[in-house]
């Protein structure tokens, strides 16, 4: 609300309203299913409002934070897909520790000149100089989010739903591929879908780590949420067992699940 009021009164840049038109169709289709959350950690009110307004117009869910403490609180509150932060904020250890502790693979766009102090930020980082050009920012946002999308190398297999446990919460696996899976969870358990989460499949005595790629629901109050993820940071033996499981599990209508041990 704060950013929207400032931008309406002080910043009417037509380029911010055109931001959505510049986004590739694949990214726009993804955003139609689930608004991507972007944390905007910028101290300057005019700059923060302009970035906020452009992202909001493009269909994102921006959260504008004018201090490092506010940004840390926003990161702890809910998962996020991208961070846009002031370079000076990145020099504060709290932003790094909070961001990477909860979202270790989420990309970040740093705005400003680091000067003589290099910024060391784990994961994928992009740098944008001031003044912020809306078209260039759109390009950076597109590159950051598209690079985070996996390339599917194998066909997706719709299966008879299999009971699983996601970060301790009951769920169902509804389709699989060699690289990942799609999960179905109760709509009120969205918070368990952190950027990296664990999945356990009791029927196969199999446990592995998954990187969240997308989430989708019919509405914010829907009783069911779907999540797509790719296997990540697992041992080779676990990856091999997953592929064996994926090859063995029956597709929809084929009958019961075969145990894979």
**Domain covering 157-248, topology:** Thrombin, subunit H (2.40.10)
Q: What is the pLDDT of residue 261?
A: 38
Q: What is the pLDDT of residue 195?
A: 82
CA triplet 198, 202, 205: central angle to 5 degrees? 90
Q: What is the pLDDT of residue 38?
A: 92
Q: Which uninterrupted H or E stretch holds 52?
A: helix 45-57
**Tell me: the pLDDT tens digits for 107-156?**
888 898 766 455 555 557 788 888 888 888 888 888 777 654 444 556 77
- Spatial contact of 56 and 35, defined as CB atoms under 8 Å apart: no
Q: What is the pLDDT of residue 15?
A: 46
pLDDT-flagged residues of the chain (< 70): 1-34, 93, 97-105, 114-123, 146-154, 217-222, 252-261
- Spatial contact of 245 and 201, defined as CB atoms under 8 Å apart: yes
CATH, domain 2-147, list 3.40.50.2300, 3.40.50.970, 3.60.70.12, 1.10.10.60: 3.40.50.2300
pTM, two decimals, is: 0.49
The token duo for 117 is 């102090």
Please tell me the distance from the alpha carbon of residue 113 to that of residue 117, in angstroms, as a whole number: 9
Domain boundaries, the chain: 2-147, 157-248
Q: What is the pLDDT of residue 256?
A: 44
């Amino acid at each position: 609300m704060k950013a929207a009021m400032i931008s309406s009164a002080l910043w009417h840049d037509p380029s911010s309203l055109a931001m959505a038109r510049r986004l590739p169709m694949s990214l726009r289709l993804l955003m139609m299913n689930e608004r991507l959350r972007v944390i905007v950690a910028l101290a300057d009110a005019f700059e923060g409002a302009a970035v906020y307004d452009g992202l909001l117009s493009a269909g994102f869910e921006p959260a504008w934070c004018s201090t490092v403490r506010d940004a840390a609180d926003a990161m702890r509150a809910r998962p996020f897909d991208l961070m846009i932060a002031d370079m000076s904020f990145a020099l504060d250890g709290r932003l790094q520790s909070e961001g990477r502790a909860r979202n270790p693979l989420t990309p970040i766009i740093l705005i400003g000149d680091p000067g003589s102090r290099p910024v060391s930020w784990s994961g994928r980082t992009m740098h944008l100089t001031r003044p912020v050009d809306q078209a260039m920012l759109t390009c950076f946002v597109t590159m950051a989010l598209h690079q985070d999308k996996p390339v599917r190398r194998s066909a997706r297999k719709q299966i008879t739903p299999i009971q699983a446990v996601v970060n301790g919460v009951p769920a169902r696996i509804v389709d699989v591929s060699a690289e990942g899976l799609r999960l179905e969870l109760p709509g009120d358990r969205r918070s368990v879908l952190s950027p990296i989460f664990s999945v356990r499949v009791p029927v196969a005595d199999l446990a592995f780590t998954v990187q969240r790629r997308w989430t989708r629901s019919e509405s914010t109050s829907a009783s069911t949420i779907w999540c797509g993820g790719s296997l990540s940071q697992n041992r080779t033996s676990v990856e091999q067992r997953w592929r064996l499981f994926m090859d063995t599990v029956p597709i929809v209508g084929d009958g019961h699940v075969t145990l894979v041990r």
